[in-house]
Amino acid sequence: MSTSVPGGVLTLADDLTVSRMGYGAMQLAGPGVWGPPRDPAEAVAVLREAVDRGVTHIDTSDYYGPYTVNELIRQALHPYPAQLRIATKVGARRAPDKSWPTALSRAELIDAVHDNLRRLGVDTLDVVNLRIGGTERPTPGSLAEPFTVLAELREQGLIRHLGVSGVSSEQLTEAQSIAPVVCVQNLYNVARRDDDDLVDRCAREGMAFTPFFPLGGFTPLQSGVLDDIAARLGATPHQVALAWLLQRSPTILLIPGTSSREHLRENIAAADLDLPADVVAELDAVGR
């Protein structure tokens, strides 16, 4: 077991301290986040190596696969190390056509929480994020009804902490009026900077901001500036993009995903990449 924690740690509650460099498990599913992985043995090895290298924050969802990713996590890591925290998401499901329709009714949310509990093999979920918006931008409207359902499940002891995903600043405020929020998970990376103000708000209020698609997601980041900087620093463009996020805000948590140990090691090494001020200024200009 590693004695170092990649990226350092962030404490969000008395029982919630996580490595800032986490691991996003979505890519452990098959193509299109559907079905089992191409190489189940490698998927298990990736999860175990992430933990061995000091990662204490894994991001998942029962609708990855669906179901197969949570089952892999349990297979690879259960009984879980004491320091490991697993964050999951509810609010969507997978349809037979592989689409991602919303699932925000009371019954759907309760079922989703119990499905996550069962497949992960735990009595209480560390963090549950309520997914409201689409991938690209928040969906306007109130989240009070579905978030209240999760708040009730938290009061029942099935969830320790709550987060929100795909939300606006106004929706975050609404959620906070119902129950404490420890994290926000929105689309954000060096090239997609719409949430700059929300990133800063999370830092001021001591909440985590967890960017999904930190490396561009289904459309990987393409930037000549990234390539040039990476060449100068002796790093990869992806490492530069991850290092920029870690330096962007002290409460950003990273969850880059991969299905290979080689890429996992590359991502974790980004936590040790210190970007000089002039490089940060160049990268800041990429998203403007």
Q: Tally Cβ neighbours within 10 Å of residue 285.
A: 9
Q: Domain locations in the chain?
A: 9-222+244-261
Q: CB–CB of 286/250 below 8 Å? A: no
**Helical H segments across the chain, by residue range:** 40-52, 68-77, 106-120, 144-155, 169-176, 196-205, 224-233, 237-248, 261-269, 277-286
Residue 246 contacts residue 205 (beta carbons within 8 Å)? no
- What pLDDT was estimated at residue 288? 66
CATH topology of domain 9-222+244-261: TIM Barrel (3.20.20)
pLDDT in tens, 62-74: 999 999 999 999 9
Catalytic residue from among 63, 64, 80, 188: 64
Q: Is 80 a catalytic residue?
A: no
- pLDDT confidence of residue 135: 80
Residue numbers of the chain with a pLDDT score lower than 70: 1-3, 219, 288
